Amino acid sequence: MSEPSTHSGEIQNEGFRLDRPHSLRFTPNPGEPIFDDIVRLAALVCDVPVSVIALIDEERVRFKARTGLELDEIPRAGSFCTYTILQSEVMIIHDPLSDERFASNYFVSRLGIKFYAGIPLTASDRHRFGALAIMDRVPHLLTEEQIISLQILARLIVTELEARHWPEGQSSQRRLHLARGPQLSSTILLVEDNENLRDLLQRTLEGTGSHVFSAADGAEAVLLWQEHQDAIDLLVTDIALPRLNGLQLAEHIRATNPEMKLLFITGFAEEFPELNELVRDGASVIEKPFLPSELVNRVEQIVSKRNTATGTEGD
């Protein structure tokens, strides 16, 4: 990764850049679900405890959303974000303790942060005004897929902010992404032992019009299935679960409903050769890391096939 530098153009545009968060209505007040979901997803995808959406002003770095952190702001001097916005690509600091730029950094000196990665938030006019960042208290490495995921999430943040800034009369073509997503109207049994990910996926699916029963493990899911099996259209389950894993759960459910649609979540598909037979029988697999929108698209495909097969499409 290239080292950030303080180009004269960046300094000359400092006043304009500092005004960008205000013109995009990006106030530092926390508590908006869309931004809370993004930082939680960033932390989950990258397997780190801390993730923030930060914006920078003359003296402070303020957090629009955060997970694994109780602060609302920190001093700008010596901050990671100050350097992140000076480059266009990801900034990764593998050992901040040995980097003189961050000797007095608040996260390093007070919170023991030993790894940082940040993606600059770049407006459509190419000015950078903040960062989506992840941090860990132990040394950490990122895969190329994780970096790409962070870049996608950073673009989503900017898209959401700029959408709020567009005049109401702007052309519908530029506002297509604001159109209502697919309405699935299905009943889904969601099984995931990671509470943060389960809550995020449940809200995502409910946002499509689906009704979701959620469980933290296979045994809990069996109880929900016994109570609501006549209503459930689709099982979405992680494979690695406590008490009863996702494959055993699917076997139990298909024993009473052989036509039940299955979508397995896993980061280790190659470790479960029995998945191949289930896929041949119509099951689907989505591999971690994935974005909520990817899950919605996959569920939409499954539900559409089911409706076509049963003749209920368009009802």
What is the tens place of the pLDDT at every residue in 164-218? 665 444 433 444 443 445 567 799 999 999 887 888 888 888 888 899 999 999 9
pLDDT for res 173:
40
* Domain regions of the chain by residue span: 8-165, 179-310
Q: CA–CA separation, 269 vs 255, rounded Å?
A: 23
CB of 47 closer than 8 Å to CB of 34: no
* Residue, of 163 and 11, whose pLDDT is higher: 163
Judged by average pLDDT, the poorest of 79-93, 209-223, 282-296 is 282-296
In this predicted structure, the answer to whether residue 249 has a pLDDT above a threshold of 90 is yes
In this predicted structure, the answer to whether residue 57 has a pLDDT above a threshold of 70 is yes
Name residue, tokens 């940082």: 116
Nearest to 213 by CA among 194, 235, 195, 196: 235
pLDDT for res 25:
44
Q: CA–CA separation, 212 vs 200, rounded Å?
A: 12
What pLDDT digit, counting tens, does each position of 97-130 carry? 889 888 778 889 888 999 999 999 998 888 889 9
pLDDT for res 307:
60
CB of 183 closer than 8 Å to CB of 211: no
Q: CA–CA separation, 292 vs 94, rounded Å?
A: 28
Average pLDDT over residues 55-75: 88
Average pLDDT over residues 46-70: 91
pLDDT for res 209:
87
Nearest to 7 by CA among 120, 104, 85: 85
CATH of domain 8-165: 3.30.450.40
Q: pTM for the whole thing?
A: 0.59
Q: CA–CA separation, 313 vs 183, rounded Å?
A: 12
Domain 179-310: state its class.
alpha beta
Those residues with Cβ within 8 angstroms of residue 238's Cβ, 6 or more apart along the chain or in another chain: 191, 192, 193, 194, 246, 264, 265, 266
In this predicted structure, the answer to whether residue 288 has a pLDDT above a threshold of 50 is yes
Percent of the chain's residues with pLDDT above 70: 80
| pLDDT bucket at 76, cuts 50 / 70 / 90 | confident
In this predicted structure, the answer to whether residue 88 has a pLDDT above a threshold of 90 is no
Percent of the chain's residues with pLDDT above 90: 40
Average pLDDT over residues 82-102: 91
* Residue, of 289 and 132, whose pLDDT is higher: 132
Which two tokens mark 79? 């901050």
The per-residue pLDDT of the chain, averaged, comes to 82
Average pLDDT over residues 266-287: 87
What are the Cα distances from residue 193, in Å, to 149, 243, 263?
22, 11, 16
In this predicted structure, the answer to whether residue 150 has a pLDDT above a threshold of 50 is yes
